[in-house]
Chains A and B, each alone.
Chain A
């Protein structure tokens, strides 16, 4: 594939030409091609490695149990994942045996009082996973509870009849009264992923805008170009051209990630099959996956995707304009540094606030941050998977459009003056003066 300026369109208006040049120059760069190829590989790895490892952990753990109380007999039941073996030897002896054996741990149950259950210990050769610990703890607790109930004089049958196994289904009610299954887990992941991507893209491509402007200014081509086009056209051409680079990269990432995911799952499938179709672990995993898919069905993915595109472009335009204005006031990246912090601060604040928003996606902080255009691209993407009222979404979109139109206008006024200034030490006061300069 060879892109070339020989292919410059025969007839095109000026702004189109500028967009085309900005676009072509960047997608031909090695750094772009490398980032585009590496991105999906990384994404594929992040998405599939945990699954891969989860499916391939050594299935059987085995524990020994010393029950000095005699109350826990038959409580730990071996299954496919964990094997329990009751032993009746001295604790010290068992501990020293444990190191020599290939057992994963030793559960010690002392002679305890039902009223005051204490002294339970898990000796292990290595650190146990959180889920193993929880399941053992849970088993002991449940059994002690039923022992207490028995001691209080309740009939065993009655106690068994108390046993309830529930699975909490969360249902999201929307305005139309329609009920949808939702999963806050899936919503969290989607929210984080889309917010982070917008943050990264805005930061990365905003900075690209700034460097592009600095390059034109410091290489002194600017005045040659300005004898053909207006400063605002040049700025818009650059901002839009780079937006298209970002979109191209995003689309390529989607396509490649999809492709690589398919490749990886094909590569993984023989091992999956090896473990046996009847394997409960697999079936429980696939249960989990189907639950997740059902939950995804509850989240309006069309809305998420179209909102993502809108906030991606809107957020980029808003910040890209400001970055371009900074560039026009700077002759080098170092010059630009002093203006960077105030511009990037809202971006960083948004990312830090994501966990706050997550705690209360419908609270007032979440609401206001998803309306204010400087934070809305990230914050709204975090909120959408949890469901946002239509009027809030419309208000937020309207505010963002208003926001980027304003920053483009402000940036344009600074840019037209700044781009021709050389050798002046620029500060905020001077930026304001440029902005106020009459046309």
Chain B
């Protein structure tokens, strides 16, 4: 079932087209990756979903209902450009932000305690935000986003500003929230995090959607019949494959990237290879999202 349906959204600023005719669907209870290089229109799309700005054309539906301010209030939104009131204490600030989301004070206090404990910020309740390190402030912002236990979370570049340890901490929290049934829209231009988190992605570039689908399916579609082999000996080039690259491993072991030029089964390839070399490892080369991303957005591709 689809939680969000975006129909033909367009938005222009001042003659500059930020989004042109974007349509996509976001399935329920999963992590959805909204990918694209800087300036592709990701943040604009998110701001339209959260009704912070108005689209020129098109509609956004949440649970089949056109999105309203009251529905927005139930969303958890972590913007890319995020900050906090510097002169307010951590605890007060979180109470305030969650009350704006409609949480009662008592419930807010209870949940804030749990989250501060979880993210190692327990002793910071009464500290001013300006005394926090950048990473700590990011954690507080994350807590502010999830306190009202939203069914839909929108995270714009959630890992920027985190060191690897804390990024991992936050990643695990995100996965836990998904397991509890939240739908998460995850916008980023950094692909490493996408593959382990997202089930579905949409790639937008220069205001247009250029790709979408499940990560598995997209990778499947972008396979180019390439294999990675570790071997010893000399590859015979007369075979039915092309050698794309060879690197030396330790000893007389070598690794090659080869491409099958006939529609055959991997077993046929292995049979051919074993004729000429000692085969130590054989694996299909699955393109990473990063590679697909680069191949799709690099200008030379057009």
Contact = CB atoms under 8 A, between A and B. Distances in A.
Interface of A: 4-6, 8-12, 14, 17-18, 21, 25, 215-216, 219-221, 223-230, 420, 422, 433, 438-439
A435 to B, nearest CB: 14
Given A219-B83, A220-B81, A5 B52 contact: no
Nearest to A9: B105
A313 B88 CA distance: 27
B85 A221 contact: yes
Contacts of A420: 47, 52-53
Interface of B: 14, 47, 50, 52-54, 69, 72-73, 75, 77-79, 81-89, 91-92, 95-97, 99-101, 104-106, 109, 141, 144-145
A246 B131 CA distance: 29
Contacts of B73: 228
A223 B89 CA distance: 19
22 contacts: A5-B88, A5-B91, A6-B91, A6-B92, A6-B109, A10-B104, A10-B106, A25-B87, A216-B85, A219-B86, A224-B79, A224-B82, A224-B84, A226-B50, A227-B52, A227-B72, A229-B100, A420-B47, A420-B52, A433-B14, A438-B54, A439-B54
B52 A223 contact: yes
Given A219-B83, A224-B77, 4 more contacts: A8-B99, A12-B99, A221-B82, A223-B77
Nearest to B101: A228
Contact of A221 (B83, B92, B105): B83
Contact of A5 (B77, B95, B104): B95
Contacts of B75: 227
Nearest to B43: A223
Most buried by B among A25, A216, A221, A226: A221
Given A11-B104, A420-B52, A227 B95 contact: no
A8 B82 contact: no
Nearest to A424: B14
B100 A220 contact: no
Contacts of B144: 224
Contacts of B145: 224
Nearest to B14: A433
Contact of B105 (A10, A21, A220, A227): A10
A8 B82 CA distance: 24
Contacts of A228: 72-73, 97, 100-101
Contact of A224 (B69, B88, B104, B141): B141
A244 to B, nearest CB: 17
B79 A21 contact: no
A230 B68 CA distance: 11
Contact of A21 (B69, B96, B101): B96
A422 B100 contact: no
Given A4-B92, A10-B106, A11-B104, A227 B84 contact: no
A131 to B, nearest CB: 54
Nearest to A228: B100
A219 B100 contact: no
Contacts of B54: 438-439
